[in-house]
């Protein structure tokens, strides 16, 4: 998907956006970073297709789009389940399928307060979970999130990261905004800086990469004779190295597979001693032609 | 579209905003239909469709204004086009107006002593369609999508409704009311009423396109 020479102004007022050139390739986590009033929310609405640009063209916009606003309006007497089911139906799902999908999303996001409670009775963090869920009713090819971490409870941040990874791994495009530099650098594979209506690609080659490996130290379960169990960790998905020093096993695993591995180990009776990130020395540059 | 209409209907029912205009309509219409035992049936339709005109404008504006702008954006993303969302609002407002006026107008007439011919019934349907369509058309123009400030919207609504109701011979509303009031038994009533209904529906289509155009520019 591409934005070419996009400009936006309302009536005869100043231009909110001018000469914006943006590439949104599939499989990438793209951030629009900028302060308040920089035009990033308008840009997001143009990406999603709700706002028509005054000049320029948007090409190759995917058919299935999800949009998560920065705040979900609280004043609604409908329940979360009903609202999601309605949105699912509007997107083309059949009634039953929409209901089931809504329930499973609310369960995954751990909505506190009940799926049948009126939206206006939910806390802000829980209302934002509904905002996220509605965008996922039909798995989107393009997911656009406006300040996603700000409104969500910290307990849901893990699920949000999982969801973002799932979408990009499946070849979808993910676009988000945040005004905090640390959040943008920690999550984005491509950063656009938005300021005063202009958008520039951040080609800074010295920026920190996302850590790609996780280091796990596990303790094996012992049998009735006191002999620790062994396991062939190298055959597990994502494992880069595994060293057994008798008491503990140290495993380096690609971060995307870390959770699966930990879950499997815990199920088999292994104990986790330590977990941390490994920063690779290789720096990757994102910029230029896609 | 059906899913959008169901959603719009659910939002309307939850908000209870439909109650004010519909209760006003019911109250006034009951007065007209109740006190009309010796009057030709067609003569009731005129004033009732006039009241329906006002109440359906109110209902439409309330229906549009009750939906939060951010939630509207979400609906537009799900639907794919903002025009679909607007069309759903138009259909729900129209259906609600016609349903309430239909039940109120035809049930007592069928149960009571009036001798009502199929032509009369048809004139009644067309008269209500005229009132409801024109009302929804005005309601869209004075809603938040076109006129942001409630004060200006109210004044514009009153001016437009007065112009359409009192300008001598202007279709569809004034012309319809004069037709039904002064020539209630004329044989040419059906085609003339159909003409007013056609103008009203055309007005509604024009108003929908205009509102969509303005709303898209504002978004």
For the segment B2-11, what is each residue's pLDDT rounded down to a tens digit? 999 999 999 9
Inspect the interface and report whether the beta carbons of A134 and B78 lie closer than 8 Å: yes
Query: CA B18, B24, B25, B28: dihedral to nearest 10 degrees?
Result: 170
Q: Is B13 on the interface with A (CB under 8 A)?
A: no
Inspect the interface and report whether the beta carbons of B14 and A134 lie closer than 8 Å: no
B11: chain A residues, CB-CB within 8 Å: 76, 78
Q: For residue A69, give the nearest of B14, B70, B219 by CB distance.
A: B70
Q: Tell me the C-alpha distance between B218 and A13, whole Å.
A: 12
Distances (CA, A) of B5 to A193, B22, B171: 40, 19, 30
Q: For residue B4, give the nearest of A48, A65, A90 by CB distance.
A: A90
What pLDDT, on the 0 to 100 scale, is given for residue B170?
A: 87
Where b means 16+ CB within 10 Å and e means fewer, B25-42 reads bbebbeebbeebeeeebb
What pLDDT, on the 0 to 100 scale, is given for residue A10?
A: 87
Question: Which residue did the predictor score with more confidence, A156 or B134?
Answer: B134
Which residue ranges form the domains of chain A, and what is each CATH number? 2-201 (3.40.50.300), 213-278 (3.30.70)
Which pTM value belongs to this model?
A: 0.79
A135: chain B residues, CB-CB within 8 Å: 77
Write the burial class of residue A240 (CB in 10 Å: 0-12 exposed, 13-18 middle, 19+ buried): middle
Q: Is B7 on the interface with A (CB under 8 A)?
A: yes
Q: Is A75 on the interface with B (CB under 8 A)?
A: yes
Q: What is the mean pLDDT of chain A?
A: 85
- The answer to whether residue B135 scores a pLDDT higher than 90 is yes
Mean pLDDT of B46-61: 93
- The answer to whether residue A222 scores a pLDDT higher than 80 is yes
Closest to B142 in 3D by CA, of B211, B79, B188, B77: B211
Q: Which residues pair with A254 in a beta bridge?
A: A213
With helix as H, strand as E and coil as C, how does B110-164 read?
Answer: HHCCCCCCHHHHHHHHHHHHHHHHHHHHHHHHCCCCCCCCHHHHHHHHHHHHHHH
Inspect the interface and report whether the beta carbons of A69 and B73 lie closer than 8 Å: yes
Whether A262 and A218 have beta carbons less than 8 Å apart is answered as no
Inspect the interface and report whether the beta carbons of B74 and A45 lie closer than 8 Å: no
Mean pLDDT of A179-199: 85
Mean pLDDT of A161-177: 91
Inspect the interface and report whether the beta carbons of A86 and B7 lie closer than 8 Å: yes
- The answer to whether residue A209 scores a pLDDT higher than 60 is no
Q: What is the mean pLDDT of chain B?
A: 88
- The answer to whether residue A283 scores a pLDDT higher than 50 is no
Mean pLDDT of A191-210: 73
Q: What is the pLDDT of residues B172-215, one digit of tens each?
A: 998 888 888 887 676 678 888 999 999 999 999 999 999 999 99
Inspect the interface and report whether the beta carbons of B74 and A69 lie closer than 8 Å: yes
Whether A53 and A128 have beta carbons less than 8 Å apart is answered as no
Residue of A nearest to B69 (CA): A73
Q: Is A134 on the interface with B (CB under 8 A)?
A: yes
What pLDDT, on the 0 to 100 scale, is given for residue B35?
A: 66
What pLDDT, on the 0 to 100 scale, is given for residue A124?
A: 87
Inspect the interface and report whether the beta carbons of A77 and B216 lie closer than 8 Å: no
Mean pLDDT of A225-244: 82
ipTM of the complex: 0.88
Give residue for tokens 């994502």. Answer: A238
Whether A87 and A122 have beta carbons less than 8 Å apart is answered as no
Instruction: Choose the mutation target among A68, A90, A145 for the interface with B, i.e. most B CBs under 10 Å.
Output: A90
What pLDDT, on the 0 to 100 scale, is given for residue A288?
A: 31
Instruction: Using pLDDT thresholds of 50, 70 and 90, give the confidence band for residue B30.
Output: confident
Mean pLDDT of A23-41: 87
């Amino acid at each position: 998907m591409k934005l070419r020479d996009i400009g936006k102004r309302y009536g005869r007022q100043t231009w909110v956006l001018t000469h914006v050139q943006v590439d949104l390739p599939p499989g990438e986590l793209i951030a629009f970073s900028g302060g308040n009033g920089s035009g990033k929310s308008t840009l997001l609405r143009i990406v999603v297709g709700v706002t028509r640009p005054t000049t320029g063209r948007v090409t190759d916009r995917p058919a299935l789009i999800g949009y998560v606003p920065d705040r979900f309006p609280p004043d609604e007497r409908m329940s979360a389940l009903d609202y999601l089911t309605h949105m699912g139906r509007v997107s083309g799902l059949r009634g039953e399928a929409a209901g089931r999908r809504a329930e499973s999303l609310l369960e995954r996001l751990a909505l506190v307060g009940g799926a049948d409670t009126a939206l206006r009775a939910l806390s802000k963090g829980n209302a934002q979970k509904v905002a996220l869920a509605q965008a996922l009713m039909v798995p989107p090819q393009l997911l656009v999130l406006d300040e996603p971490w700000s409104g969500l409870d910290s307990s849901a941040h893990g699920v949000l990261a999982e969801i973002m990874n799932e979408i990009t791994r499946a070849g979808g495009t993910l676009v988000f905004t945040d005004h905090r530099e640390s959040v943008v650098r920690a999550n984005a594979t491509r950063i656009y800086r938005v300021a005063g209506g202009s958008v520039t690609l951040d080609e800074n080659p010295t920026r920190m990469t996302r850590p790609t490996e996780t280091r796990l130290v596990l303790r094996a379960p012992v049998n009735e004779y006191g002999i620790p169990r062994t396991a062939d960790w190298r055959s597990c998905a994502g494992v880069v190295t595994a060293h057994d020093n008798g008491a503990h096993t140290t495993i380096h695993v690609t971060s995307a597979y870390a959770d699966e591995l930990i879950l499997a180990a815990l199920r088999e009776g292994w104990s986790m001693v330590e977990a941390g990130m490994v920063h690779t020395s290789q720096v990757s540059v994102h910029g230029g032609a896609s | 579209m059906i899913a959008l209409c169901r959603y719009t209907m659910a939002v309307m029912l939850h908000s209870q905003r439909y109650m004010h205009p519909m209760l006003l309509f019911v109250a006034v219409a009951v007065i007209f239909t109740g006190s009309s035992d010796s009057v030709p049936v067609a003569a009731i339709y005129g004033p009732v469709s006039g009241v329906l005109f006002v109440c359906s404008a109110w209902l439409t504006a309330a229906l549009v204004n009750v939906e939060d702008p951010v939630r509207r954006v979400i609906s537009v993303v799900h639907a794919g086009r903002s025009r679909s969302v607007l069309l759903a609002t138009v259909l729900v407002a129209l259906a609600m107006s016609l349903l309430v006026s239909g039940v109120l107008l035809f049930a007592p007439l069928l149960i009571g002593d009036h001798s009502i011919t199929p032509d009369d019934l048809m004139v009644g349907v067309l008269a209500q369609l005229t009132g409801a369509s024109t009302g929804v058309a005005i309601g869209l123009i004075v809603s938040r999508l076109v006129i942001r400030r409630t004060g200006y919207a109210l004044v514009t609504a009153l001016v437009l409704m007065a112009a359409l109701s009192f300008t001598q011979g202007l279709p569809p509303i004034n012309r319809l009311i004069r037709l039904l009031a002064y020539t209630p038994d004329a044989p040419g009533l059906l085609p003339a009423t159909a003409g007013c209904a056609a103008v009203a529906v055309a007005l509604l289509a024009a108003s929908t396109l205009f509102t969509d155009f303005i709303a898209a520019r504002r978004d």
